[in-house]
């Protein structure tokens, strides 16, 4: 028994330390090249100046695809935002890929008629089934388009009117013929007055503020994030198109393009506001889908990446990216083994393994603080709270995301469960416009009071695409998932483990069990907060 516990705990410690080393190296690269990485967002400006391309190339044809499934609270805003693009109307068209089974389709049909009357080319595509889910809808839309480029937006995103022009005409990253896609930065349409939403945003801000620009700077694979980006149609076709055998079709296609010699670009200066899941139940649903899709991509692509030769740089790094969500099963494994490791593992070996395990905590703390400093350009006591809550949520997701990982390792595809979001951004009026500024024609959030004039401009842009005054649709319900009860059981196990260690004279080593119990308690408590539907 002690030998088995030592082996299992050792495996968790070694693999956890490996993830930590990858993270620490990424942070080192970011910090030592911060100025150049920041400047990389505008590296194509000089190339854009003095161009003598023909007019039809200066404004290439683009199809805007909007995949929808039961998005009654936000469908109208994204259709109007797409129609409001400051781009020649004969050079872009819109496809609303609507697989909805509720009143979303009626809302879309009405808005499409209004947009058509304004002279915008738009098509409302109804399949009557969900074969392939989002990937299937995107593929069907491509069959109806001959545009050179394809822009993608999920329903809760609101691109600035200058989005297409910024990425296709001004910044012009596609001047490089090997660029498959360009990803804009996700930002948040509303400020966060509560600590928990701030902590949730921190988990994603780390990806967009630190990870993505650093990956691009060092030449690693830049991945598409499913929305707020533009694809070169030729790259999609060359890589085999969208496929539905994973739930993260964006990650899948990104790596298949990389294996064909294409690469992605991340333009950090162009921000597209969107909505966070408005409560923990929805956030967990989103995270489990990503964890499942991540495991499916790992199973599908890791062998090809490792055997790609010089086509993909830092192949080992890319394998860890594809295995990213595996940190959650490792955390859960460590928790379950902890009391027994304290009691039965040789004390010298235990200390060595603890040194390895501590690397993960160090990497997480540094990563979150660097993210806050880069995002806000300052640190405060609130930053400490955000980091603590962010770490608590990250560890509290271990049960939920482990379930997703296990499903992904044994299943291909699966139902694409939508993530319930809040009410429409545009319907928030002054709240949506407050605290935003425009960076090269695109809105983002800021605490800078000097951004007032630009904030007014961003609010005006949203007002231009605001829907006609209508009754605000009710938000979608988000019932408790069965993992809620599994998390309660894990909390009980933490209490049992802590009591066992105290009774065995190991009170000091019981403290991690209390820490894990607090993280799981945070998850449980937040899921018990029943979301209030949005009324008119």
Answer for the pair 188, 445: CB distance below 8 angstroms, yes or no. Answer: yes
Distance CA 77, CA 191 (A): 19
Point out the catalytic residue in the list 98, 99, 156, 205.
99
Q: Does the annotation count 99 as an active-site position?
A: yes
How is residue 72 annotated by DSSP?
T
Beta bridge partners of 59: none
266 CB-near residues (< 8 Å, 6+ apart): 182, 183, 185, 212, 213, 215, 216, 222
Q: What is the pLDDT of residue 459?
A: 43
Distance CA 522, CA 349 (A): 32
Beta-strand pair 229-232/179-188: antiparallel
Beta bridge partners of 94: 64, 122
Q: What is the pLDDT of residue 171?
A: 81
Answer for the pair 62, 148: CB distance below 8 angstroms, yes or no. Answer: yes
Distance CA 327, CA 22 (A): 12
Reported as a single tens digit per residue, the pLDDT across 452-472 is 333 333 444 444 444 444 555
Left (φ > 0), alpha (ψ -120 to 50) or beta: where does 188 sit? beta
Q: What is the pLDDT of residue 422?
A: 57
Name all contacts of 385-390 with Cβ < 8 Å and 24+ positions apart: 385/195, 386/195, 386/198, 386/199, 386/202, 387/202, 389/195, 389/196, 389/198, 389/199, 389/522, 390/199, 390/200, 390/202, 390/203
Q: What is the pLDDT of residue 101?
A: 92
The candidate with the shortest Cα–Cα distance to 185, out of 165, 210, 168, 161, is: 210
pTM, entire model = 0.86
pLDDT (tens, 9 = 90+) of the chain, 536 residues, equals: 789 999 999 999 999 999 999 999 999 999 999 999 988 643 333 343 344 444 446 899 999 999 999 999 899 999 999 999 999 999 999 999 999 999 999 999 999 999 999 999 999 999 988 999 999 999 999 999 999 999 999 999 999 999 999 999 998 899 999 999 999 999 987 777 777 778 888 889 999 999 999 999 999 999 999 999 999 999 999 999 999 999 999 999 999 999 999 999 999 999 999 988 878 998 999 999 999 999 999 999 999 999 998 888 889 899 999 999 999 999 999 999 999 999 999 999 999 999 999 999 999 999 999 999 998 888 888 889 889 989 999 999 999 999 999 999 998 877 766 676 654 444 333 333 333 333 333 333 333 333 333 333 344 444 444 444 455 556 677 788 999 999 999 999 999 999 999 999 999 999 999 999 999 999 999 998 865 554 43
Q: What is the pLDDT of residue 128?
A: 80
Q: What is the pLDDT of residue 41?
A: 43
Beta bridge partners of 265: 182
Q: Which two tokens stand for residue 461?
A: 């842009």
Distance CA 125, CA 36 (A): 44
The residue count of the chain comes to 536
Phi, psi of 112 (to 5 degrees): -60, -40
How is residue 471 annotated by DSSP?
P
Q: Does the annotation count 250 as an active-site position?
A: yes
Beta-strand pair 62-68/149-152: parallel
Beta bridge partners of 436: 445
Q: What is the pLDDT of residue 530?
A: 66
Answer for the pair 304, 475: CB distance below 8 angstroms, yes or no. Answer: no
Q: What is the pLDDT of residue 313?
A: 84
Answer for the pair 315, 308: CB distance below 8 angstroms, yes or no. Answer: yes
Distance CA 69, CA 476 (A): 12
In order of 30, 83, 196, 391, the CA distances from 444 in angstroms are 22, 20, 20, 25
491 CB-near residues (< 8 Å, 6+ apart): 517, 520, 521, 524
Distance CA 143, CA 489 (A): 49
Strand order in the sheet with 62-68: 122-126, 92-98, 62-68, 149-152, 229-232, 179-188, 263-274
What is the sign, positive or negative, of the torsion defined by CA atoms of 263, 264, 265, 268? negative
Distance CA 325, CA 298 (A): 10
519 CB-near residues (< 8 Å, 6+ apart): 391, 392, 393, 395, 396
Q: What is the CA radius of gyration of the chain?
A: 24
Point out the catalytic residue in the list 160, 205, 250, 252.
250
Q: Please tell me the number of Cα atoms within 13 Å of 159 on its side-chain side.
A: 33
């Amino acid at each position: 028994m002690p030998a088995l516990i030592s082996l299992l705990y050792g495996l968790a410690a070694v693999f956890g330390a490996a993830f930590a080393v990858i993270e620490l190296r990424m942070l080192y690269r970011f910090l030592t090249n911060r100025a150049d990485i920041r400047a990389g967002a505008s590296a194509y400006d000089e190339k854009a100046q003095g161009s003598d391309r023909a007019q039809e190339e200066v404004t290439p044809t683009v199809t805007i695809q909007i995949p929808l499934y039961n998005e009654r609270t936000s469908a109208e805003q994204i259709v109007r935002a797409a129609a409001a693009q400051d781009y020649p109307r004969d050079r872009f068209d819109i496809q609303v890929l609507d697989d909805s089974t509720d009143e979303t389709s009626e809302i879309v049909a009405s808005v499409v008629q209004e947009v058509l009357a304004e002279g915008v080319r738009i098509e409302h595509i109804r399949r009557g089934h969900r074969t392939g889910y989002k990937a299937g809808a995107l593929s069907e839309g491509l069959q109806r388009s001959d545009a050179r480029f394809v822009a993608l937006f999920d329903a809760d995103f609101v691109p600035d009117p200058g989005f297409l022009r910024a990425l296709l005409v001004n910044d012009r990253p596609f001047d490089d013929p090997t660029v498959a896609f360009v990803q804009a930065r996700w930002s948040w349409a509303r400020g966060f007055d509560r600590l928990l939403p701030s902590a949730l945003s921190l988990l994603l801000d780390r990806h967009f503020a630190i990870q993505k620009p650093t990956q691009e700077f060092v030449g690693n694979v830049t991945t598409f994030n499913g929305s707020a980006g533009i694809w070169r149609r030729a790259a999609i076709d060359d890589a085999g198109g969208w496929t539905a055998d994973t739930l993260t079709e964006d990650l899948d296609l990104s790596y298949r393009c990389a294996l064909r010699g294409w690469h992605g670009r991340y333009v950090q200066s162009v921000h597209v506001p969107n909505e966070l899941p408005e409560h923990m139940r929805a956030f967990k649903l989103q995270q489990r889908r990503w964890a499942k899709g991540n495991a499916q991509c790992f199973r599908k692509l890791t062998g090809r990446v490792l055997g790609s030769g010089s086509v993909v740089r830092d192949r080992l790094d890319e394998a860890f990216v594809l295995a990213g969500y595996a940190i959650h099963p490792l955390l859960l494994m460590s928790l379950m083994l902890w009391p027994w490791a304290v009691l039965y593992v040789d004390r010298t070996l235990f200390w060595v393994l603890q040194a390895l395990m501590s690397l993960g905590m160090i990497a997480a703390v540094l990563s979150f603080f660097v993210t806050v400093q880069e995002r806000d350009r300052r640190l405060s006591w609130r930053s400490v709270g955000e980091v603590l809550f962010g770490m608590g949520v990250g560890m509290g997701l271990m049960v939920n995301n482990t379930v997703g990982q296990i499903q992904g390792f044994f299943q291909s595809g699966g139902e694409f469960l939508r993530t319930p979001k809040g009410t429409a951004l545009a319907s928030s009026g002054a709240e949506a416009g407050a605290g935003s500024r425009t960076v090269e024609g695109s809105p983002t959030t800021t605490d800078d009071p000097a951004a007032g004039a630009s904030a007014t401009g961003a609010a005006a842009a949203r007002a231009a695409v605001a829907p006609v005054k209508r009754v605000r649709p009710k938000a979608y319900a988000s019932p408790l998932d069965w993992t809620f009860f599994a998390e309660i059981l894990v909390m009980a196990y933490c209490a049992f483990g802590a009591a066992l260690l105290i009774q065995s004279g190991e009170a000091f080593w019981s403290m991690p069990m209390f820490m894990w119990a607090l993280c799981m308690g945070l998850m449980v408590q937040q899921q018990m907060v029943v979301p209030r539907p949005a009324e008119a």
